[in-house]
Amino acid sequence: MDITYEEHYQKLEWMYVHAAPINKIYQPTINIAKGSCEIKMACNRELFHSAGALHGSVYFKMLDDAAFFAASSLETGVFLLTSTFNIHFLRPVLYGELLAKASVISYTKQQIVAEAILINLETNKEVARGTGNFLKSPMPLDESVGYK
């Protein structure tokens, strides 16, 4: 590895915040450390379904993103891909700031497994949890994917 882990985390954070066009909609913040990641985001009513609560796609995005970057914190050579992700919805979100916290639970040559929880910081309750498997892609981790 030609860079320090701290530089690696900063490049991943840049990739997430500035190179992913979808995050212009969500406006999350991210903090990456070795084998872990935290993402915060405000609950935006524009992301609600017709029954008046946060759409499940937002739960998935936050959990998958946090788990993905926890896994990516350990991989400095190539871009990872989510191969599977299982989610458990525990309660609806009607308001508040959300925090997704993830950590790596298994790291092998073939795959990295990470688990994540999603907490509503206003109610201090867990609203969802998920586990993902991440595989190494042939795509190098470089400026072509916003890693700079």
Q: What is the rounded distance in angstroms from the CA atom of residue 144 to the CA atom of residue 105?
A: 29
Does the pLDDT at position 8 exceed 90? yes
Q: What is the rounded distance in angstroms from the CA atom of residue 28 to the CA atom of residue 146?
A: 17
CB atoms within 10 A of CB 3: 11
Does the pLDDT at position 1 exceed 70? no
**Confidence grade of residue 2 (pLDDT, cut at 50, 70, 90):** confident
Q: What is the rounded distance in angstroms from the CA atom of residue 134 to the CA atom of residue 125?
A: 27
Which residue has tokens 């903090």?
Answer: 31
Dump pLDDT digits (tens) for 12-38: 999 999 999 999 999 999 999 999 999
Say which CATH class 5-145 falls into: alpha beta
CB atoms within 10 A of CB 15: 20
Domains of the chain: which residue ranges?
5-145
Mean pLDDT of 104-117: 97
Q: Is 10 exposed, middle or buried (0-12, 13-18, 19+ CB in 10 A)?
A: middle
Dump pLDDT digits (tens) for 54-81: 999 999 999 999 999 999 999 999 999 9
Q: What is the rounded distance in angstroms from the CA atom of residue 131 to the CA atom of residue 83?
A: 11
